[in-house]
Amino acid sequence: MRWDRTLQLVEAHAEGEIGRVVTGGQPKIPGKTLQEKFRYLLNEQDLRHSLCLEPRGAAAGSVILLFAPEDPENDAGIVILQPDQAHAMSGSNAICATTVLLETGIIEMQEGEILVRLETAAGLVVAKAQCEEGKCVSVTLSMPASFVEQLDCTIETGQWGRINADIAFGGVFYAIIDAERLGMKIEPAQARQLSDAGMALKEILNKQLSVTHPENPDIHGIAYVMFRQNEDDGTVRTATTMWPGRLDRSPCGTGNSANLATRVERGEISEGDVYFSRSTIDSQFKVRHAGTTMIGNKQAVLPEITGRGWIYGMHQIGFDPSDPFKSGFALTDTWGVDAGKIRP
CATH number at residue 334: 3.10.310.10
Domain count of the chain?
Answer: 2
User: Both 175 and 112 in a single domain?
Assistant: no
Q: Tell me the CB-side half-sphere exposure of residue 147, using CA atoms within 13 A.
A: 17
Do 241 and 288 lie in one domain? The reply is yes
Averaged pLDDT for residues 85-108: 96
pLDDT band, residue 262 (cuts 50/70/90): very high
The answer to whether residue 80 sits within a structural domain is yes
Residues 6+ apart with CB under 8 A from 50: 56, 319, 326, 327, 328
Write down the pLDDT at residue 344: 46
- Average confidence score pLDDT of the chain: 94
Who wins on pLDDT, 342 or 285? 285
pLDDT tens readout for residues 174-214 = 999 999 999 999 999 999 999 999 999 999 999 999 999 99
Catalytic-residue membership of 257: no
Answer yes or no: do 261 and 272 share one domain: yes
**Annotation marks residue 90 as catalytic:** yes
Active-site entry in 92, 252, 277, 279: 252
For residues 291 and 157, state if they share a domain.
yes
Q: What is the pLDDT of residue 299?
A: 94
Question: Does residue 134 sit within a domain?
Answer: no
Q: What is the pLDDT of residue 338?
A: 73
Note whether 69 and 175 are same-domain residues.
no
* Contact between 121 and 216 (Cβ < 8 Å): yes
**Rounded to whole angstroms, how far apart are CA atoms 215 and 206?**
20
List Cβ<8 Å contacts ≥24 apart for 67-70.
67/29, 67/34, 67/37, 67/119, 69/117, 69/119, 70/33, 70/34, 70/119
Q: Does 129 map to a domain?
A: no
Query: Does residue 70 fall inside a structural domain?
Result: yes
Q: Once rounded to an integer, what is the mean pLDDT over residues 117-125?
A: 93
What's the rounded mean pLDDT across residues 318-342?
86
Whether 343 has a pLDDT exceeding 70, the answer reads no
Contact 127, 141 (CB under 8 A): yes
- Residue 305's region, left for phi above 0, alpha for psi from -120 to 50, else beta, is beta
Phi, psi at residue 99, to the nearest 5°?
-60, -45
What lies within 8 Å, CB to CB, of 29 at 6+ separation is: 37, 40, 41, 65, 67
Prediction pTM value: 0.93
Residue 142 lies in a domain: no
Do both 251 and 314 map to the same domain? no
Q: What is the pLDDT of residue 15?
A: 98
Task: Specify whether 81 is located in the same domain as 201.
Answer: no
In this structure, are residues 66 and 21 in contact, taking their beta carbons and an 8 Å threshold? yes
Catalytic residue among 50, 90, 138, 257: 90
Alpha-carbon distance 301 to 292, whole Å? 4
Task: Report the pLDDT averaged over residues 233-241.
Answer: 95
Same domain, 109 and 203: no
For residues 275 and 172, membership in a common domain is answered with yes
Residue 33 has a pLDDT of 95
**Which residues contact residue 53 at a Cβ distance below 8 angstroms, ignoring those fewer than 6 apart?**
83, 327, 328, 329, 330, 342
The single-letter code of the amino acid at 108 is E
Give the alpha-carbon dihedral of 210, 214, 216, 222, to 10 degrees: -30
My answer on whether 210 and 292 are in the same domain is: yes
Q: How far is CA 161 from CA 158, 176, 193, in A?
A: 5, 16, 17
- Let me know if residue 27 belongs to a domain: yes
- 337 and 270: one domain? no
Asked whether residue 152 falls in the same domain as residue 296, the answer is yes
What is the rounded distance in angstroms from the CA atom of residue 141 to the CA atom of residue 130? 11
Task: Considering only residues 142 and 243, tell me which one the structure prediction assigns the higher pLDDT.
Answer: 142
Domain membership flag for residue 136: no
Residue 278 belongs to what domain range? 147-307
Residue 130, in any domain of the structure: no
Could you read off the pLDDT of 26-46 as tens digits, one per residue?
999 999 999 999 999 999 889
Whole-angstrom Cα distance, residue 200 to residue 177? 13
pLDDT recorded at residue 339: 76
Q: How many CA atoms lie within 13 A of 274 on its CB side?
A: 7
Q: How far is CA 228 from CA 29, 108, 113, 134, 140, in A?
A: 37, 38, 32, 36, 22
